[in-house]
Amino acid sequence: MHIVVILRLVPDLSDELDLAEDGKSIDREWVGIALSEFDEQALEEAVLLKEAILPKDGGGAKVTAIARAGEGVERMLQGALARGADSAILLEGDEEEYLDSRATAPIFAEALRSLQPDLVLTGVQTIEDIFGQLAPYLGRLLDWPQVSAVSGVELGERSCILRQEYSGGRQARIEVDLPAVVGLQTASQPPRYVSASKLKEAMKSGEISRLPAAAEPMHNRAEIESLAPPDRTAGARMLGDEPEGAAAAILDALDERDLISR
Amino acid sequence: MTKVLVHIELESGGIAPVSYQLLGAARQLAGQDGTVDALLISERPQDQVSQLGAADRVFCLSGDSAASYLPEVHLKALLAAREKSQPDIVLIAYSSAGLDLAAASAATADLSLAAYCQGVERDGDELQVTSQLYAGRLLAKSRVALPAVLSVIPGAFEEAPGRIEGNPEIVDLTAGLDLSQPRMRLLEVIEPEGGDVDIAEAERLVCVGRGIGDPDSIAEAEELATLLGAELAGSRPVIDAGWLPKSRQVGKSGKRVAPKLYVCLGVSGAPEHLEGMSKAAFIVAVNKDPAAPIFETAHLGSTCDLFDLMPSLVEGLKQRGC
Ligand SMILES: Cc1cc2nc3c(=O)[nH]c(=O)nc-3n(C[C@H](O)[C@H](O)[C@H](O)COP(=O)(O)OP(=O)(O)OC[C@H]3O[C@@H](n4cnc5c(N)ncnc54)[C@H](O)[C@@H]3O)c2cc1C
Ligand SMILES: Nc1ncnc2c1ncn2[C@@H]1O[C@H](COP(=O)(O)O)[C@@H](O)[C@H]1O
C-alpha cells in the first residue's frame, strides 16, 4: 500500500502579512512560512494509516511525502521524515515562482502518475488557494475519485472508507475505490509531537530524492487585481490592552445591555 | 444575456439557507433579461421545487442515488446540468459539497474559478469578484473571465431575494444520467451527537479558541462562563484537540449560533468560524493580535492577553455580585 501525501508551505499567520509593491500579492521575502495546518493533518493521517497496516500483514504500507521545491521546503520534508514518512520527494522546477493550487495541480498530477500510489492525501485547503483547492483538481486531472472535508480514513485492500463532514456536525461514511484523492481536514488523532533529537536525526539521515516538475501549470482566466486588509471602520470598539480597565469596560457594556444576571 | 446555474444544497430535508442566498445573487447577476437555472438533487424533488421560485428552470435528479450527498453523483449531475444549461456563471456554496464540486467542475469543463467569494459584480465580459483570503486577513479583488465557477461564502448574500415561491419549469436529468459503475458508495449518515447542552439554544456563550493554549486553561474559561450564566463553546481546533466535545463546536462544520452574548477568547475569526456566530447580537472579542479578523465582526474588542483579562473579568463579576 503506497500513500502519497502532498505538503505545502504557506505564510505563517502569526506573522504580519505585508503587501508586495504590486499591491496584488503578499511580500513573500520576509513573511514567516509554515506547513499548511491541513497538510499537517494529512501527514499525520498517512502515518497513522501506515502504522495500522504494518503489524497485520507484514507487506505493510509506505508513506511518501512530496512537495514543490522552494525556500524552506527541504527542511519541511525532513520534518515529515521525522514524523514518520518513509521517503520524501522534491519536485524541482521554477522555485522562485509562486504558484497557486490550481496552477500546481498538473505538476503534482504528473508526479502522481509516475508514483502510482494507492491513496493521495493532502490538506482540504490552504489559506491562499483563491482559484480552487488542490485535491478536487487532482481528482479530475487523474480521473480518480475525490472527497474533500474528510476527518478520518480507514484503508482496505481495494477501497478506503472516508468520513466526510458537513455543516451542523453531520457526517457520512463513504466507501471509495482506490486509487483515490482525499482533501483532509482533521486526522483521526491530533498530529504527534516530534522531539528535537528525532528532527536532528532526520536532518542527518533523511534522504530527499528529486524529480523534475514535469508539467505546465494549469492555465486560468482569473487574476488577482488587488489585495488589501478589510475595512475596519465598522468593526469593534477597541478597549485598551490594560486588563483591569478593559475588563471593567466590558462588564459596564454588558451591564448596560442587561447581560449580567445577579 | 447572462445565464446562471446554482447548485442547491439540502439541509435536514429542506433547502439550505445558503442556497437561497445563492439564488438571490444569481437573480441579481442575471439582471432583467438573464436566466437562472437550479440543480436540485433530492430523493423527492417535487416536495422542494416550489420553494425554488427564484429559478426559471430546475434540473432535477431524483431517486435512491439522490437521497444523500455523494461527491461523485453530484459532480456528474452538475456537469450534465451545465451541458444543458450552458451557463456563464455557476454558483456553488463554500461548503463540504462546494469544496468537492467547484474546482472539480471547473477542471472538467475548463471554466475559470474564484473561491471564498463574498461579493461579485458584472463588468462587461468579466466578473469582479471579492474573495476572503488568508483566513480572512486580506480581501482579494480579482477579474474573472466567463464562463466561470464561483464558490461563495455562506452568509455573504441576503437570503430574502432568493426565497421566492413559484412554479419553475422542471427538467428531469434522472433518465439521461449514467450512474452505473460507481466508484464511491454511501455507507451511512451519522447524525451529530446531542451533547449535554444545545449551544444553539443558549442565550449567552463563551467561546474559546486555539489561543486558550491547553486543556487545563479551559477550566478558567468555564468559571467565567458560569459567572456570566453562559455555556462554553469552542472553535474547531479546540474540538479537534479533544478539549471540548464536538457538540460545542461553533462554525461551518459545527453549530450556527445567534446568542444575545458571544464572548470569544483566543479566536482569530476565520471565515469558517464567523459563519457560525456572526449573527450573535453582542460580540466581545479578546485576542492579542490587533490584526485578527474577529475584530471586524465583534462589537467590543480587547488586545489583552486572555490570561490577564480572564481573572479581571472573573474578579469584576464577583464584585458585581454574580
Ligand atoms: C471545511 C472547513 C470547515 C471548518 N469548520 C470550522 C468550524 O466549524 N469552526 C471553526 O472554528 N473553524 C472551522 N474551520 C477552521 C478555520 O479555518 C480556522 O482554522 C479556525 O476557526 C481557527 O480557530 P482559532 O481561531 O481558534 O485558531 P487560530 O486561528 O489559531 O487563532 C488563535 C488566536 O488566538 C490568539 N491568541 C493566542 N494566544 C492568545 C492569548 N494568550 N491571549 C489572547 N489571544 C491569543 C491569536 O492571536 C490568534 O488570533 C474549518 C475549516 C475548513 C477548511
Ligand atoms: N458543562 C460543561 N461546560 C464546559 N465544558 C464541559 C462541560 N462538560 C464537559 N466539558 C468539557 O468537555 C470535555 C469532555 O467532557 P466529558 O467527556 O463530558 O467529561 C472536558 O474537557 C470538559 O472540560
**Distance between Cα B311 and ligand 2 center (Å):** 21
- The per-residue pLDDT for B186 is 97
**Distance between Cα B245 and ligand 2 center (Å):** 7
Reported confidence tier of residue A234, pLDDT bands at 50, 70, 90: confident
Going by C-alpha positions, the residue among B282, B322, B285 that lies closest to residue B306 is B285
- The per-residue pLDDT for A175 is 98
CB contact A185 to B (< 8 Å) = yes
**Ligand 2 atom closest to B222 (CA):** 4
**CB distance A64 to A117 below 8 Å:** yes
Whose atoms come closest to the Cα of B212: which ligand?
A: 1
**Helices (H) and strands (E) in chain A — how many of each?**
6, 13
Pocket test for ligand 2, best of B205, B206, B226, B232 (most atoms within 8 A of CB): B232
Tens place of pLDDT for every residue, chain B, 322 residues?
999 999 999 998 899 999 999 999 999 999 999 999 999 999 999 999 999 999 999 999 999 999 999 999 999 999 999 999 999 999 999 999 999 999 999 999 999 999 999 999 999 889 999 999 999 999 999 999 999 999 999 999 999 999 999 999 999 999 999 999 999 999 999 998 888 899 999 999 999 999 999 999 999 999 999 999 999 999 999 999 999 999 999 999 999 999 999 999 999 999 999 999 999 999 999 999 999 999 999 999 999 999 999 999 999 999 998 8
In this predicted model, which residue has the larger pLDDT, A59 or A181?
Answer: A181
Mean pLDDT of all residues belonging to chain A: 93
| Min distance B175 CA to chain A CA atoms (Å) | 23
Residue A109, CA atoms < 13 Å, CB-side half-sphere: 22
Residues of chain B with Cβ-Cβ distance to A228 below 8 Å are 138-139, 141
Q: How far is A226 from A236, CA to CA, in rounded Å?
A: 25
- The per-residue pLDDT for A58 is 60
Asked whether the predicted pLDDT for residue A55 surpasses 70, the reply is no
| Min distance A102 CA to chain B CA atoms (Å) | 8
A196's CB contacts (< 8 A; 6+ apart) are none
Asked whether the predicted pLDDT for residue A183 surpasses 80, the reply is yes
In this predicted model, which residue has the larger pLDDT, A206 or B2?
Answer: B2
**Distance between Cα B238 and ligand 1 center (Å):** 8
Interface mutation vs chain A, best among B82, B113, B310, most A CBs within 10 Å = B113
- The per-residue pLDDT for B7 is 98
Give the one of A130, A168, A190 whose C-beta lies nearest to B114's C-beta: A130
Give the one of A132, A229, A254 whose C-beta lies nearest to B103's C-beta: A132
Strands A119-123 and A180-184, bridge-based pairing: parallel
Asked whether the predicted pLDDT for residue A121 surpasses 70, the reply is yes
Residue A105 and residue B145: Cβ atoms within 8 Å? no
- The per-residue pLDDT for A54 is 65
Reported confidence tier of residue A153, pLDDT bands at 50, 70, 90: very high
Angle at B207 between CA B202 and CA B211, to 5 degrees: 175
Residue B99 and residue A125: Cβ atoms within 8 Å? yes
What pTM was estimated for this model as a whole?
A: 0.93
Q: Render pLDDT for A160-170 as a digit per residue (tens, 0 to 9).
A: 999 999 998 89
Pocket test for ligand 1, best of B151, B220, B236 (most atoms within 8 A of CB): B236
Asked whether the predicted pLDDT for residue A56 surpasses 60, the reply is no
Residue A114, CA atoms < 13 Å, CB-side half-sphere: 13
Q: How far is A119 from A112, CA to CA, in rounded Å?
A: 10
Any idea which of A17-26, A51-60, A66-75, B224-233 has the lowest mean pLDDT? A51-60
**CB distance A191 to A48 below 8 Å:** no
B163's CB contacts (< 8 A; 6+ apart) are B20, B23, B24, B51, B54
CB contact A22 to B (< 8 Å) = no
Q: How far is A149 from A153, CA to CA, in rounded Å?
A: 11
Does B218 sit in the ligand 2 pocket, CB within 6 Å?
Answer: yes
Q: How far is A158 from A163, CA to CA, in rounded Å?
A: 17
CB contact A232 to B (< 8 Å) = yes
